[in-house]
Chains A and B, each alone.
Chain A
Amino acid sequence: MNTLQPIKTVTGRAVFLPGNDIDTDRIIPARFLKCVTFDGLGEHLFRDERFTEEGTPKQHPLNEPRYLGATILLSGSNFGCGSSREHAPQALYRYGIRAIVTISVAEIFFGNSTTLGLPCVQASAGEIHRLARLVESDPTLKLTLDLEALTISFGDDSISVELPEDARKAFVTGRWDPIADLLEGTAETEVTAANLPYLSG
């Protein structure tokens, strides 16, 4: 099997999505839940905010050519609230987002994102707005999220960010997806199963 790569840094350009409480339904409208793979979800990211029903683009940061190819998403508080489905972080990931920097993030969304290898770090409202202003004036600005130092550096400046220690460790050691650990317990799983009459009988 593919072994998981440690995620120690994420470097890329950023895009700022203003607002708080951006819920999973806005990130990926419910009608796109009817799918057999997550592959095409990236296209529909923020679908109803980016396009009219007829498909005409609306004013939206992700529709602006200057932010095309951004991999770091900046936003407000309680990002990713709403449903527990994994489609929302999947849509962001498939779109190309590799790190999310917000004031706060919804708990289930955080867990789902972590499992995908998509770190969600927190920064103060002030710092996020500072980054947003910088990115707006220079969309080519490269940011580097360093998960070992818990900083975001840009030019010769940097800010500090927060990430719970277990998640941070999981990223930098390549254990952000529990499947690696679970597979390591295969032999013990078989022992446990053999001791349960309904599984061994």
Chain B
Amino acid sequence: MSKPKNLFEKVWESHAVRTLPNGQTQLLVGTHLIHEVTSPQAFGMLRDLGLPVKMPERTYATVDHIVPTDTHAEPFEDPLADEMIRELRKNCEAYGITLFDLPGGQQGIVHMVGPEQGITQPGTTVACGDSHTSTHGAFGAVAFGIGTSQVRDVLATQTLAMTKLKVRRIEVDGELCPGVFAKDVILHIIRLLGVKGGLGYAYEYGGEVFDRMSMEERMTVCNMSIEGGARCGYVNPDETTFAYLNGRPYAPSSEAWDEAVERWRAIASDPGCTYDDVVRIQARDIAPTVTWGINPGQAIFINERVPTVEGSAPGEREAVAEALEHMKLTPGTPIRGTRVDVAFLGSCTNARLSDFTEVARYLEGHRVDPRVKAIAVPGSQLVKAACEERGIDQVFRKAGFEWREAGCSMCLAMNPDKLIGDQLCASSSNRNFKGRQGSPTGRTVLMSPVMVAAAAVTGEISDARTVFGVRGVEA
């Protein structure tokens, strides 16, 4: 019998074209996703070199970063944004690339569109000019973000020059406590392993907690692998994966479906395979988690206190001091009770149907604090439509949330949704870097969607379990 292998090794081997003169691997990219921000320059380079697109049928496009979310009406107010979308359309048209455009009902954040359409599949390689491409690993794909020149490389050759990663299995065993979500799991992992802990690694998430998670929850976790330094993160495909894909537009159908499922089963990590590292975490040790600093690893449980410089490890003091200064938080005080100006529920981390459904369950009968600007931004037009069909948008509107059009919105500052001055934002997104949300002095506190809702209705960082009365938790 051949040696047991993990999923990453199997996918890598089946996509390795050859060894390049410099020792790197030429890796075949099965699925290439593009959006308006990092693709136009790549197409420009392609034209400069006089090269065609190698496999246009394996590239899929959508618009997300620069799209305004108050209205999708065109032309956009920002002429640069307008130029970017027109450029994407022109390139897709010229090279015969499928574009999920604003009219059409299937546009959305690129990392939502791939799964929704069934384009993202187990055992494949996925690349996109965006670091949160790791999201697609939820399907048992090897998926990573690439730079603009690499977008050009994929367009021109359908391959990349890559160095093989090591694999770390992260196992979360047991059962999560009530009121603890996928977002808390990944924030906790990054807190434990550090924002650079994953450098050189692919993360394989396994154990009972991931086995039980829905696809949408797995996407939330894989999405933030990159925030822990891991270029990609994945969950082995299982029945949950297959059930999600079954019937999606780009998923195989009829006979091809059965064959595909058989292949997908076989691509999962073999029993007895080895890893370069294994980390074990107990699910019951995880509580709702929020960030207090300026990178996603600077996180604490909701009932903990903001760290102090003196109480931090000597090597970290400078970073802690810088973060505290930016965040204007008082060291040593509870994070709970910190005033919130903006509540943002959106982004490719947490803007899926299950996120809005879960929040709506709790939000009913509550009102957003009048001091808070609260926006709910579905990650895709399909999610928006599904929410509206179920009346979920009404729950948000009634509570005082603005109900928006699909896009990246306040996750980053490339569209009109921005923080002003030193506003503090309770955010379901994935990055709390300085200036990330559009104001150089703006402050971002990352948390789960339900915690964002709790912050919105109380006007301060709060424990959603007490605000919404989650059973099994002592107040």
Contact = CB atoms under 8 A, between A and B. Distances in A.
Interface size classification for chain B: 35 or more
Contacts of B121: 198
Interface stretch (A13-21, A136-144, A189-197): A189-197
A94 to B, nearest CB: 11
Contacts of A196: 14-15, 28, 30
A181 B50 contact: no
Contacts of B124: 198
Q: Which of A2, A36, A39 has its CB near the most chain B CB atoms (within 10 A)?
A: A36
A181 B66 contact: no
B207 interface: no
Interface in B34-56: 37, 40-41, 44, 48-51, 54-55
A178 to B, nearest CB: 4
Is chain A's binding surface mostly helix, strand, loop or mixed? Answer: helix
A37 interface: yes
B152 interface: yes
A66 B24 CA distance: 43
Contacts of A192: 14-17, 28
B28 A37 contact: no
A189 B17 contact: yes
B159 interface: yes
Interface stretch (B79-87, B315-323, B340-348, B397-405): B79-87
B149 interface: yes
A112 interface: yes
B41 A37 contact: yes
A35 B39 CA distance: 10
B246 interface: no
Given A36-B41, A112-B147, A185-B26, A179 B152 contact: yes
A36 B161 contact: no
B387 interface: no
Contacts of B385: none
Contact of A201 (B40, B44, B256): B256
Interface size class of A (residues with CB under 8 A): 35 or more
Nearest to A197: B263
A86 B149 contact: yes
Interface in A147-199: 166, 169-170, 175, 177-179, 181-183, 185-186, 188-189, 191-193, 195-199
A181 B149 contact: no
B89 to A, nearest CB: 12
A23 to B, nearest CB: 11
B197 interface: no
Nearest to B40: A36
Nearest to B91: A36
Most buried by B among A1, A116, A198: A198
Contact of A185 (B41, B48, B149, B159): B159
Given A182-B153, A186-B157, A189-B157, A36 B87 contact: yes
Contacts of B61: none
A189 B149 contact: no
B21 A37 contact: no
Contacts of A201: 252, 256
A181 B30 contact: no
B148 interface: yes
A38 interface: yes
A134 to B, nearest CB: 34
A132 to B, nearest CB: 28
Contacts of B80: 34-35
Contacts of B30: 196, 198-199
Nearest to B88: A36
Contacts of B149: 86, 112, 115-116, 177, 179
B325 interface: no
Contacts, number: 123
B27 to A, nearest CB: 9
A68 interface: no
B157 A38 contact: no
Given A182-B153, A192-B15, A1 B50 contact: yes
Contact of A183 (B24, B41, B44, B156): B156
B128 to A, nearest CB: 14
A125 interface: no
B41 A33 contact: no
B284 interface: no
B134 to A, nearest CB: 14
A133 interface: no
A1 B21 CA distance: 20
A84 interface: yes
Contacts of A183: 51, 156-157
A29 B14 CA distance: 41
A179 B55 CA distance: 16
A199 B21 contact: no
A195 B263 CA distance: 13
A60 interface: no
Contact of B44 (A2, A37, A84): A37
Given A2-B50, A34-B84, A86-B147, A193 B26 contact: no
A189 B153 contact: no
A197 B17 contact: no
Contact of A38 (B44, B54, B123, B252): B44
Contacts of B160: 182
B66 A34 contact: yes
16 contacts: A1-B49, A2-B50, A33-B414, A37-B40, A85-B148, A112-B149, A166-B22, A170-B22, A177-B149, A178-B24, A182-B20, A185-B20, A186-B157, A188-B17, A196-B30, A201-B256
Interface of A: 1-2, 30, 33-39, 84-86, 90, 112, 115-116, 166, 169-170, 175, 177-179, 181-183, 185-186, 188-189, 191-193, 195-199, 201
User: Which 4 A-B pairs give the minimum distances between C-beta atoms?
Assistant: A36-B40, A178-B161, A182-B157, A36-B87
